[in-house]
Amino acid sequence: MGAVGAGPRAAQADNLADALVGAYNTSGLLKQNRALLRAADEDVARAVAALRPVVTWTTQVTRSFTDGVSRFGVSYNYDDSSFFTGLQLDALLYDGGASRLRKQAAQETVLATRQSLLQVEQQVMLRAVAAYVNALIAEENVRLRENNLRVLQEELKAARDRFDVGEVTRTDVALAEARVANAQSGLATARGELASARAEYVNVVGHAPGKLSGQPPLPRIPASEKDAQSVAQRNHPQIQAVQHQVKAAELNVLSASKAYGPTANLRLSAGITEYSGTSFSTDNAAASVVVQQPIFQGGALAATHRRAMAQRDAARGNLLEVKDQVVQAVTDAYVRLNTARASLKATEEQVRASRVAFDGTREEAKLGARTTLDVLIAEQDLLDALTLRNQARGELSFAYYQVLFAQGLLTAEHLGLPVQIYDPTLYYNMVKDAPARLSKRGKDLDRVLQAIGKK
């Protein structure tokens, strides 16, 4: 399991787990793809229904007119009306297994759609990580620039005081004023970036961020890139989705091949016919078995079969492509992770050296050994170093979660989020047997759909 936990919220500080929970519970993209999964579930129900008898009720009113001449040369004409009502049952007896193969293909499509839903969940989770980290970076940048502005304002005050006593020139004061103005501009830019980061956070998480609790805990990941690739090849939802798509395509090929063979259907009918103007009526009942086999359909059957084979071959080719993409994504994630580690280490050293340089330059300036410009340059170098370290910390956090994403493990269940995990089997189990609308299960489904519509 991952290392993200909600934990206590003593000061109502938002941590990464809060952001992930909000994204999971409010994502419109997840709701959309859950609905698409329910649609795929219903395709299984439709395939099951195709294997069952179909009963229809028919009512027919007929008005007939007759005008003729008998063989004796006598003309005659009359009209008649009749009313028929009855039931008809049609049942499939044999189609070479094509209908059952289509049902199995629909089931494989359901499994593929479930994996696609997991991949969408991963995308939502990764976007939430990015939103949290970017908001955190933007907040820290604002704090750094606010502090930088205060320091520069102090430097400006000191420069003016020293100018009043003749220790520095008007140029030194102007330089300090320019740096203050530049810092004010930088602070305005940083606040704008923070506003944009907060807007993205609201869009992804569903609510505005409170006080962010700092860099998130780093999840456990495989020690080596090779181990991570093995995990990805076994578990990644994109690979598993395409594997099920290949199976569905293979079943569709078999189903299409059955269309060349015979089919047998049973038809039963019963009803009553009444004739107008008389009290005469008849009871009708009939039973028939119809066996058919296509001989010529203009090449449509062969084209359908070849089309199914082409789609199967395309699915197999896509599987190879997706496997390569997943392996490459793991490699890219580890490259990003290693780069982030090296960058953070370098910026830590840069901050240390810049702070020593700034403190030393400021002290030397008090003794007259350094100019105001030297102090301002050292202050800017320190601000740049602190900004780079802040960005490097955020990049490292994001890189760890991108490794999880590349393995197919950035899901609410794997992260151990305190949410009610969406169970894709619940709806499927209710519809897989194609319940009738007026049955008990059909009424239960109506209540489920009403509840879903209110969310």
Contact 153, 177 (CB under 8 A): no
174 Cβ partners below 8 Å, 6+ apart? none
Q: Which of 126, 98, 135 is nearest to 24 (CA)?
A: 126
Question: Does 338 reside within a domain?
Answer: yes
Is the confidence at residue 4, as pLDDT, over 60?
no
Q: What is the pLDDT of residue 454?
A: 55
Range of the domain at 215: 16-62+80-415
| Mean pLDDT value across residues 48-53 | 94
Q: 433 lies in a domain?
A: no
Q: So what's the pLDDT on residue 444?
A: 80
Mean pLDDT, residues 169-174 taken together: 89
In a domain, residue 49? The reply is yes
* Rg value, the chain, Cα: 37
Report the pLDDT averaged over residues 336-356: 95
Q: Is residue 437 part of a domain?
A: no
Residues 6+ positions from 105 with CB-CB distance below 8 Å: 47, 247, 248, 249, 251, 252, 255
Separation CA 109–CA 245 (nearest Å) = 6
The pLDDT of residue 77: 73
Low-confidence winner among 142-151, 306-315, 363-372 (lowest mean pLDDT): 363-372
Contact 201/211 with Cβ under 8 angstroms?
no
- In-domain check, residue 420: no
Domains of the chain: total: 1
Among the ranges given (12-16, 30-34, 102-106, 250-254), the one the predictor scored with the smallest mean pLDDT: 12-16
The CATH number of the domain holding residue 343 is 1.20.1600.10
- What strand order describes the sheet that includes 54-69? 54-69, 75-94, 263-275, 281-292
For the ranges 101-105, 154-158, 197-201, the lowest mean pLDDT is seen at 154-158
Per-residue pLDDT band at 11 (split at 50, 70, 90) = very low
Assess whether pLDDT exceeds 50 at residue 10. Answer: no
pLDDT digits 0-9 by tens, 285-339: 999 999 999 998 999 999 999 999 999 999 999 999 999 999 999 999 999 999 9
Is 432 inside a domain boundary?
no
Give me the sign of the Cα torsion angle 76, 81, 84, 90: positive
Q: Is the pLDDT of residue 13 over 70?
A: no
Within-domain flag for 429: no
Average pLDDT, the chain: 90
Whole-structure pTM value: 0.86
Residue 75 resides in a domain: no
